[in-house]
């Protein structure tokens, strides 16, 4: 199969994002993609080269916007650039884009995030949904008649066929919900949705039926929150009293004596057909939902009953990035939702203790959202992983992607009593040492980092007058050969070695002060860091040599051709070859766990979370020895329980 992840059709967007982020003029589908991207900047994994930026790659682009051939935005589109500051990671091995919201949007979103603490995300789509209610089952909203017909066929006799549904849809009144004119129960006349001058995310919003614009800045909360102030209302609207969320059948309106039943769509089944199903014991309703709002004249729909389809996680990437002859890895796990709900107060306390207020609120909202997803699925979630050509198992597009969640959120979600996390300690420096040992070469600075990584980070942080958290990515960048250069005469080092990094990347301005520190300190003070960099530089040719002489001696394990050819940046290709070797060995640890039939919850590159039972110390030692034998190394890995 040669196709990549499809565009997501259903999005869960935080009310804080909807109420604060302003977008350029785009289609409804691209608007949802921009909103999802803005939300990703608040709760996605920080970029390794600067914590203020969020990692963003081609997978997200395809999932949020789809193909550019179909009108989807790309990260290079003018509309995207208007909303986000971005930079390309340094060329020597970097591949992931870094993004953050432009200042105005970021400022408004930061304030909104604090204001909307604990608010559930709103489920939106730009596709026309059809709400199906059958007997006492939970309502379901589908995005095509085929999905409706397939779902009903499995649950009732003489279910409406696909052709019948299409015919009934054609028979409904031409002036129905989803068009410019919509009837609202209790309204004296039709409400024209085209009169909306703006939508969520802007400062001024017209609410259907309102006599004047609603100023979003006046809202103490937005739709989906527990308390909502509507301009002109005498008192707040209590959403906790709603039997469902905004856009559903029952909503409390300020000043009303009781719930106002708003017509949210048009019934597709004729009364005669409904009565016929009722006589056979099936109470059936199929409603074509009305738009929630309009973006440039195109409808956006909302319903909590929209479901995420399996297509979001089972697509297989093209052969040019897949590991040869590898099948996807399917994993299903059970989470203790009750435990995660009970632990929430401890999670909130911890996030507030260790994070700035805005980031803490974003992380709390992210935790709550994923617990909600698990609750919707009775604690059960399935993933599909594919092995990249470099060896790592990457997660295909999913709404619950543990690989891209911030570490604190991921650890909180995988803290269930039946889960244990394991990690490879100082993975890449340890592999450097093991491979060089094969040739009788010692790496004293790498060995020191392995023995006392926190001490080394403290030393580098003190030397550069930065924090330990800032020192970690600098040391890591040295391991992969990027982010430093050495002046042979002076013995001083610089943080960046690509000329275009200075002029072409927004991030440079944020790290320039560190570069100044590095280039100005004396050789004596920077002795350890310089020697560490030189030690690694000299060791890299041994890493590549070992692969060719030991692993690929018979030609059975060649490196990908695009990193071994004669053309292109030779330094960059050398770094890619080193990365290829290290991740191949790292991935064999995960493979060993899977082969031992442990029930794996999540694969996080060189670490993973295991459910079912703990891995005993004896078995961990056995796996370490197995990896040594497989690669003809000594002490290649050390497995630690987190």
Among candidate residues 358, 384, 415, the one where a domain is terminated: 415
| Calpha distance 8→305 (Å, rounded) | 16
pLDDT for residue 307 is more than 50: yes
Instruction: Place 315 in a pLDDT band, splitting at 50, 70 and 90.
Output: low
Bin 227: left if φ > 0, else alpha if -120 < ψ < 50, else beta.
Answer: beta
Predicted pLDDT of residue 507: 38
Nearest one of 614, 617, 640, 641 to 418, comparing CA atoms = 614
Same domain, 411 and 541: no
SS3 state at 386: strand
Predicted pLDDT of residue 154: 92
Q: Assess if residue 616 is contained within a domain.
A: yes
pLDDT for residue 221 is more than 80: no
Q: Assess if residue 135 is contained within a domain.
A: no
Each residue of 332-349: pLDDT tens digit?
889 999 999 999 999 999
| Calpha distance 423→404 (Å, rounded) | 17
Tell me how many domains the chain contains. Answer: 2
Q: Assess if residue 381 is contained within a domain.
A: yes
End-to-end Cα separation, the chain, in angstroms: 37
Question: Which percentage of the chain shows pLDDT scores above 90?
Answer: 33
Among candidate residues 384, 415, 446, the one where a domain is terminated: 415
Same domain, 403 and 448: no
Name which residue leads in pLDDT, 469 or 248: 469
Same domain, 392 and 489: no
pLDDT for residue 365 is more than 60: yes
Predicted pLDDT of residue 299: 93
Instruction: Share the mean pLDDT of the chain.
Output: 75
Average pLDDT value for residue range 188-197: 32
Q: Assess if residue 300 is contained within a domain.
A: no
pLDDT for residue 597 is more than 60: yes
Instruction: Place 411 in a pLDDT band, splitting at 50, 70 and 90.
Output: very high
Q: Which of 147-151, 199-203, 558-562 has the highest mean pLDDT?
A: 147-151
Q: Assess if residue 525 is contained within a domain.
A: yes
Predicted pLDDT of residue 176: 47
Each residue of 347-361: pLDDT tens digit?
999 999 999 898 898
Each residue of 490-543: pLDDT tens digit?
555 554 444 333 333 333 344 444 455 555 555 444 567 777 877 888 898 999
Predicted pLDDT of residue 115: 85
Same domain, 384 and 447: no
Among candidate residues 390, 415, 440, the one where a domain is terminated: 415
Predicted pLDDT of residue 240: 34
CA count, 13 A, side-chain hemisphere, 581: 28
Predicted pLDDT of residue 318: 56
Same domain, 551 and 402: no
Instruction: Place 134 in a pLDDT band, splitting at 50, 70 and 90.
Output: very high
| Calpha distance 259→256 (Å, rounded) | 7
Two tokens at 306?
């929209």
pLDDT for residue 132 is more than 70: yes
**Tokens 């699925």 sit on residue:** 377
Nearest one of 220, 257, 230, 264 to 241, comparing CA atoms = 257
pLDDT for residue 598 is more than 70: yes
Q: Assess if residue 137 is contained within a domain.
A: no
Average pLDDT value for residue range 458-462: 83
Instruction: Place 587 in a pLDDT band, splitting at 50, 70 and 90.
Output: confident
Same domain, 637 and 564: yes
Neighbours of 183 (CB within 10 A): 16
Predicted pLDDT of residue 5: 52
Predicted pLDDT of residue 88: 64
Question: Which percentage of the chain shows pLDDT scores above 70?
Answer: 71
Nearest one of 167, 127, 164 to 143, comparing CA atoms = 127
Same domain, 462 and 378: no
pLDDT for residue 548 is more than 70: yes
Nearest one of 408, 403, 405 to 393, comparing CA atoms = 403
Average pLDDT value for residue range 542-554: 92
Q: Assess if residue 499 is contained within a domain.
A: yes
Each residue of 278-292: pLDDT tens digit?
999 999 999 999 998
pLDDT for residue 439 is more than 90: yes
Mean pLDDT lowest among 308-312, 358-362, 425-429, 581-585: 308-312
Predicted pLDDT of residue 561: 79
Predicted pLDDT of residue 505: 38
Burial of 345 (0-12, 13-18, 19+ CB in 10 A): exposed
Instruction: Place 555 in a pLDDT band, splitting at 50, 70 and 90.
Output: confident
* pTM, two decimal places: 0.72
Each residue of 83-102: pLDDT tens digit?
998 876 544 344 578 899 98
pLDDT for residue 619 is more than 80: yes
Q: Assess if residue 374 is contained within a domain.
A: yes
Average pLDDT value for residue range 531-559: 88
Same domain, 451 and 584: yes
Average pLDDT value for residue range 609-638: 91
Same domain, 411 and 433: no
Predicted pLDDT of residue 395: 75
Same domain, 379 and 433: no
Range of the domain at 347: 334-415
Nearest one of 510, 598, 594, 585 to 547, comparing CA atoms = 585
Name which residue leads in pLDDT, 145 or 607: 145
pLDDT for residue 487 is more than 60: no
Instruction: For the chain, state the CA radius of gyration.
Output: 28
Average pLDDT value for residue range 463-488: 66
Mean pLDDT lowest among 112-121, 296-305, 549-558: 112-121
| Calpha distance 316→1 (Å, rounded) | 7
Same domain, 383 and 456: no
Predicted pLDDT of residue 624: 94
Same domain, 508 and 435: yes
Predicted pLDDT of residue 390: 73
Each residue of 18-57: pLDDT tens digit?
989 999 999 999 999 999 999 999 888 887 667 788 888 7
Instruction: Place 635 in a pLDDT band, splitting at 50, 70 and 90.
Output: very high
pLDDT for residue 65 is more than 70: yes
Query: Which run of H or of E encompasses 167?
Result: helix 162-171
């Amino acid at each position: 199969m040669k196709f990549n992840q499809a565009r997501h059709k259903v999005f869960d967007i935080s009310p804080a994002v909807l109420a604060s982020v302003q977008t350029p003029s785009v289609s409804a589908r691209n608007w949802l993609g921009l909103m999802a991207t803005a939300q990703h900047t608040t709760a996605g994994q920080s970029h390794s080269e600067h914590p203020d930026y969020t990692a963003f790659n081609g997978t997200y682009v395809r999932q949020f916007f789809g193909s550019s051939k179909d009108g989807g935005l790309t990260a290079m589109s003018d509309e995207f650039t208007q909303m986000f500051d971005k930079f390309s990671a340094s060329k020597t091995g970097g591949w992931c884009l870094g993004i953050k919201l432009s200042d105005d949007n970021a400022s408004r979103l930061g304030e909104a995030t604090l204001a909307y603490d604990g608010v559930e995300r709103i489920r939106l789509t730009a596709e026309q949904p059809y709400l199906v209610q059958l007997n006492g089952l939970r309502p379901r909203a589908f995005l095509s008649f085929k999905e409706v017909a397939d779902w009903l066929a499995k649950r009732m006799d003489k279910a409406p066929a696909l052709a019948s549904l299409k015919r009934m849809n054609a028979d409904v009144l031409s002036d129905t919900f989803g068009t410019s004119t919509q009837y609202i129960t209790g309204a004296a006349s039709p409400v024209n949705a085209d009169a909306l001058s703006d939508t969520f995310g802007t400062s001024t919003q017209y609410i259907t039926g309102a006599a004047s614009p609603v100023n979003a800045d006046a809202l103490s909360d937005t739709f989906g929150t527990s308390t909502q102030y509507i301009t002109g209302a005498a008192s707040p609207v209590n959403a906790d009293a709603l039997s469902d969320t905004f856009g559903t059948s029952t909503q409390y309106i300020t000043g009303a004596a009781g719930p106002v039943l708003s017509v949210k769509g048009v019934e597709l089944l004729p009364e005669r057909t409904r009565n016929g199903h009722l006589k056979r014991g099936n109470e059936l309703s199929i409603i074509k939902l009305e738009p929630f709002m309009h973006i440039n004249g195109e409808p956006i729909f909302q319903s909590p009953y929209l479901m995420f389809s399996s297509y979001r996680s089972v697509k297989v990437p093209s052969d040019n990035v897949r590991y040869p002859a590898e099948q996807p890895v399917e994993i299903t796990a059970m989470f203790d939702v009750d435990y995660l709900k009970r632990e929430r107060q401890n999670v909130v306390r911890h996030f507030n203790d260790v994070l700035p207020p805005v980031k803490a609120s974003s992380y709390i909202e992210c935790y709550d959202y994923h617990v909600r997803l698990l609750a919707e699925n009775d604690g059960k979630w399935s993933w599909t992983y594919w092995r990249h050509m470099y060896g790592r198992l990457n997660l295909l597009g999913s709404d619950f992607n543990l690989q891209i969640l911030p570490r604190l959120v991921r650890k909180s979600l995988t803290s269930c009593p039946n889960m244990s996390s394991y990690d490879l300690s100082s993975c890449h420096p340890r592999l450097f040492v093991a491979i060089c040992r094969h040739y009788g070469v010692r790496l004293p600075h790498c060995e020191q980092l392995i023995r006392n990584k926190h001490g080394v980070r403290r030393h580098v942080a003190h030397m550069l007058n930065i924090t330990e958290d800032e020192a970690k990515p600098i040391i890591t960048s040295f391991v992969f050969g990027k982010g430093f250069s050495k002046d042979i005469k002076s013995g001083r080092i610089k943080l960046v070695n690509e000329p275009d990094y200075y002029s072409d990347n927004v991030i440079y301005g944020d790290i320039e002060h560190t570069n100044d520190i590095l280039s100005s300190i004396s050789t004596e003070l920077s002795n350890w860091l310089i020697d560490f960099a030189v030690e690694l530089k000299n060791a890299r040719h041994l890493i590549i040599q070992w692969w060719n002489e030991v692993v690929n001696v018979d030609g059975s394990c060649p490196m990908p051709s695009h990193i071994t050819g004669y053309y292109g940046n030779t330094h960059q290709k050398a770094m890619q070859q080193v990365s290829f070797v290290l991740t191949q060995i790292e991935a064999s640890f995960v493979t060993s766990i899977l082969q031992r039939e442990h029930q794996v919850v999540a694969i996080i590159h060189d670490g993973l979370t295991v459910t079912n039972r703990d891995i005993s110390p004896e078995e961990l030692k056995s796996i370490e020895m197995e990896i040594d034998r497989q690669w003809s190394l000594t002490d290649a890995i050390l497995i630690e329980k987190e």
